[in-house]
Structure formats: structure tokens, C-alpha cells
Amino acid sequence: MIDTPASPAPQPVYGAVTNNAFFIVATLRDDVQCLAQVRAWCADVAGLARAVGKRIPTGHLSCVVGFGATAWDRLFGLPRPAGLHPFREFGSGTRQAIATPGDLLIHIRAERTDLCFELATQLLGRLEGAIDVVDEVQGFRQFDHRSMVGFVDGTENPEGDEAVRFTVIGDEDPDYTGGSYVLVQKYLHDMKGWNALPVETQERIIGRTKLSDIELDDDTKPSWAHNALTVLEDDDGNEIKILRDNMPFGRPGHGEFGTYFIGYARSPAPIEQMLENMFVGVPPGNYDRLLDFSQAVTGSLFFIPSLPLLDTLSEQVPDTLQDTNTPVPAADTLSGTPGSGTLNIGSLKGAPRHE
């Protein structure tokens, strides 16, 4: 058993919505000293965030750090959290939720870009030589929380106590109470193709009105609408939610327009079911038509330790370090076959309202 408080404080996974965010994904280098450097860094994260944040208290600076499955094994030698496994791929061809390398996630939020930049600089400076950054995205809040495709994003996010209930692990995994899971994907959009569509067609694809952000009624909304396929209910008809903190990003001069999807939950199963519904379809073939204009180019899953556990992970040295040249098999963590529809998540029902 891991020695953590009975109700450990979570990292700020359900922190305030801000105008800026940095998303940094890195891989670990294959060296014992590098792994020790990353472990020691765990004890510094919270203090660095506080120090930078105090410079501008109204900036609402926060930071969340997570670890991928193989990184967890190599760094800490502790049993994996119950839901931590390599990213599961769904779909095929050009419509595929792909898995890409990711051992470490740093998600920084703030009202100001300079706060995000300063904290990222401090955090990465202490990891110099131990990691390789494989993806770095600077997101921004667009108008009234609009996504890159022009619709309000995160309308159905849980708030308050509900946000805690849906994002923070409880007694279902006692060693990791106060933790969370987060799944990230970077999507690139065909904005020329999207903007050529009539607004009414865009609304049917999203499942909401564009200007007023009102959900279309069931008689109007297609079964392949984005929000039809991402609504989940349990066996009792209660909606199962995740917390999204998506942000637009892009480089207009390079024709790059994207959305960084980031979803927090107390289990990865609901997010994975949503992805299967989107990329495979309900039933198969009835996929999310937004994917005709959006391509996922990255995909990683991470575990977010509670704040006390993050601090003590610096002391969790494996008894026997793994051979860093031998990858940890993904198969031993999978309860189903990627993309097969067999997620073994029991009570989840995919988009039952609109079938």
C-alpha cells in the first residue's frame, strides 16, 4: 500500500477556465540517471507552480502533470493505477484515433501567456537532458469559448461537486485515491472544407445551433451528430460525463488550424467509449461526420497522481530498473482488442438517446 492521506488533494484537474494553456508531451530518455532526474522533479512541480503564480495572483496559474503507462513502470516500480494502459486506437484509414509516443504530460493553464511560458520554462529547465519533448501546443481561448470550427466547446462540462465526482478517483482504486486520468489528442481541421458547408449542415454535424448554442431536438439531430455519439449513460439512465478543457491552436501562415482535445475523468473507459463511438460508429459505420473535416494526429493516455502522491513519487525508486531497451508489452494491460468494440467497461452505454 502507498502511504498517502485518506483523502489526498487532487491536482487542479478541474481548475478555472482560462484564456491560455500550454500542452507539453515528452518521452523519457533511456538512462538510469535521467529517470532519477525525472523522479526528483516530481517533488518540485507544485512549488514551482506556486512561485510563478504568486508573481501575478490574478493570473490563475495552474499545472497538472501526468505519466504514461510505460513511464510509470520504468520510473516508480509501483503497481499501475487500475485504468492506466497504453493509448487504445480506434478506427482505420484516414479516420483513426492513433496512438503516439507520450511518457509525460504537462498541462499549464493561466489567464496570461507569460505565466504559462515562465512555468513551462522553469519545469522543462529542470528536466533538461532527461526528456525529449515530442509535442508542444500553445492554446488560446477563442471569443465566447468557441472551438476552431466555430461552435461553443465544453457546454456540458460538469461543475462544482459534479466535476469532482466525475474526474477524481475514489475508493474504487484505494492506492490512487485523489488521482485522475487524462486523454489528449491533437486534431487538425480542413477549415476550407468546413467553412464551405452551409451553417445548417454544420449544426447537424455538431448537434447544436451555431449562434445560440442550443442542442438540436432529437427529431432534427442525426444519429451521427458529434454530440449524439459522445453522450454516455449508465444502466440506470444517468449521464456519465468527462471534463473537457479543449483549446484552439494554429498557425494561419502555415495553414494550420487545430483543436487540442484534453479530457479528464476518474476512469479512461468513458473517454475511450466516446472515441469508439466517434471513429467506429454506433452502429459501426455510423461515425462522427466531424471526422470528415478533422484528423487526429496524436493520442496519449496519462495518469494524474494526487498532489501528495506526486510529491512522494520522488522517493519511489524501483527495486530493479527495467531494461530500458526492452519496451513494456502493451498487450498485458489491455482488457479488449483496440478498435474491436470490446472495452469491458460494463455499464457504459454509447449514445443511447439517439439510436
pLDDT tens digit string along 257-299? 999 999 999 999 999 999 999 999 999 999 999 999 999 999 9
- 12 burial (CB, 10 Å; 0-12 / 13-18 / 19+) is middle
Active site residue 153: yes
For residue 184, what pLDDT is reported?
98
Which of 98-102, 131-135, 233-237 is the least confident region?
233-237
126 closest CA partner among 65, 71, 183, 56:
65
For residue 77, what pLDDT is reported?
86
Query: Distance between CA atoms of 274 and 232, rounded to whole angstroms?
Result: 8
pLDDT: is 330 or 205 the higher one? 205
For residue 17, what pLDDT is reported?
84
Q: How does the average pLDDT of the chain come out, rounded?
A: 89
Which of 49-58, 155-164, 248-257, 343-352 is the least confident region?
343-352
Residues 6+ apart with CB under 8 A from 309: 2, 4, 8, 176, 178, 179
Query: Distance between CA atoms of 136 and 117, rounded to whole angstroms?
Result: 12
pLDDT at 337 over 80: no
3-state secondary structure of 307: helix
| Mean pLDDT on 80-85 | 97
| Mean pLDDT on 206-226 | 95
Which H or E run contains 223? none
Percent of the chain with pLDDT over 70: 88
| Mean pLDDT on 115-129 | 98
pLDDT at 341 over 80: no
| Cis omega (within 30 of 0) for bond into 268 | no
335 closest CA partner among 103, 86, 91:
86
C-alpha cell of residue 346: 460494463
Which of 73, 103, 135, 153 is labelled catalytic?
A: 153
pLDDT at 320 over 80: no
C-alpha cell of residue 123: 519545469
For residue 235, what pLDDT is reported?
87
| Mean pLDDT on 162-172 | 95
11 closest CA partner among 40, 46, 41:
46
For residue 6, what pLDDT is reported?
53
- In DSSP notation, 280-292 reads TTTTTT---GGGG
3-state helix, strand, coil in the chain (%, to 5): 30, 25, 45
Fill in the amino acid letter for 29: R
Fill in the amino acid letter for 35: L
For residue 349, what pLDDT is reported?
52
Domain locations in the chain?
20-320
Which of 118-122, 227-231, 300-304, 314-318 is the least confident region?
314-318
pLDDT tens digit string along 4-27? 445 799 999 997 789 999 999 999
Query: Distance between CA atoms of 39 and 127, rounded to whole angstroms?
Result: 10
pLDDT at 344 over 70: no
pLDDT at 345 over 50: no
What pTM was computed for the model? 0.88
Strand partners, 55: none
